[in-house]
Amino acid sequence: MRRSIEINPEESAHHRFAYELRRQRLRLGWTQSQLGRRVAASGSYIGMIESLKRKPPLRFIEACDKALGLTNILRDLHLAAWPPPPPGPPHFRDWAATEQQASAIQSWDPLLIPGIFQIEPYARRVLEDSPGITPEELEERITGRLQRRALREGEDAPVILSLIDESVLHRPMGDPEMMCQQLSHLLEVSQHPAVTIQVVPYDAYSAAGLLSPFTMFEPRHGGPYTVYVESVPFGRTLGDQTMVKQIIRRYDALRAVACPQRQSIKIIEDVMSKWT
């Protein structure tokens, strides 16, 4: 008989969900196969969910709640572990949902302050220039971008490593007061223990990242990296591991010429003083 994997419910929201599913199943004395038959699934599928090897769809969990005689207990735990993605354009929703499950996020930004670090006026200035965007779409996308800042909070917050080209700090996206507020926020974010911000300086003479911004993420429960690449007319998510490895090598080349965090903070402070 295969031994069940021990799940510690105190470790994360994901672990609490898997632990409660198993606990409720055993409360009724059911095997994984017996629960599976009641929700049109195999016992092995239930086992993968209970061992966090598979993310179950919300509808399936609602069926489990019903089969186990529960009132949205598993549904609420599922939403806490896998919250719905923030509002945004259709091409970004898959990435936003995937981003929420990252244990580590590594980004390169040669043009703008990273979206996850943008303040509201900066985000508004960036998004309002999108051709054809309606006022309703603008407000929805701003809300979604600001909601992404919650990634830095909570017990499951990922480690974030952000590489920013020095030119980004000098590019005016509003009046000097707004730019000063944005760089001040960037300095505040850099103090978070899970966040590292490094500036790639002008004198690095690096062209490795000038083609486009990109973000890589490492899944929370193992598995291959996924990459989101910005492009025109919209970005795309890459899962092909040959392409992902090429981007990882490019990221390593950029990080090799980036300033250490302490020196990067000094650069940000110096540029911020010029905006005052």
User: Looking at residue 70, which CATH number applies to its domain?
Assistant: 1.10.260.40
Both 55 and 97 in one domain: the answer is: no
Whether 86 is covered by a domain: the verdict is no
DSSP 161: E
Both 103 and 64 in one domain: the answer is: no
Question: pLDDT at position 39, please?
Answer: 93
Least confident piece of the model among 1-10, 119-128, 166-175, 224-233:
1-10
The neighbour count for residue 168, using CB atoms within 10 Å, is 20
Answer yes or no: are the C-beta atoms of 198 and 264 closer than 8 Å: yes
**What average pLDDT score do residues 19-33 get?**
94
d(CA 173, CA 183) in angstroms, rounded, equals 12
Q: Does the predicted TM-score (pTM) go above 0.85?
A: no
Both 161 and 100 in one domain: the answer is: yes
Question: pLDDT at position 154, please?
Answer: 64
What percentage of the chain reaches a pLDDT higher than 90? 52
Domain that holds residue 235: 93-275
Q: Over 90: is that where the pLDDT of 89 sits?
A: no
Question: pLDDT at position 260, please?
Answer: 96
Whether 3 is covered by a domain: the verdict is no
Whether 8 is covered by a domain: the verdict is no
Least confident piece of the model among 8-22, 44-58, 88-102, 217-231:
88-102
Both 76 and 98 in one domain: the answer is: no
Whether 156 is covered by a domain: the verdict is yes
d(CA 31, CA 33) in angstroms, rounded, equals 5
How many structural domains comprise the chain? 2
Whether 5 is covered by a domain: the verdict is no
Which domain-ending residue is among 24, 49, 81?
81
What percentage of the chain reaches a pLDDT higher than 70? 88
Question: pLDDT at position 182, please?
Answer: 96
Question: pLDDT at position 94, please?
Answer: 61
Whether 75 is covered by a domain: the verdict is yes
Both 245 and 109 in one domain: the answer is: yes
Whether 88 is covered by a domain: the verdict is no
Read off the pLDDT of residues 160-199 as tens digits, 9 standing for 90 and up: 999 999 999 999 999 999 999 999 999 999 999 999 999 9
Read off the pLDDT of residues 115-168 as tens digits, 9 standing for 90 and up: 999 999 999 999 998 888 889 888 888 888 887 777 666 666 789 999 999 999
Q: 137: exposed, middle or buried (C-beta count within 10 Å: 0-12, 13-18, 19+)?
A: middle
Nearest to 113, CA basis, from 188, 62, 33: 188
Residue 169 sits in a domain whose CATH number is 3.30.870
Which domain-ending residue is among 33, 48, 81?
81
Nearest to 234, CA basis, from 77, 90, 36: 90
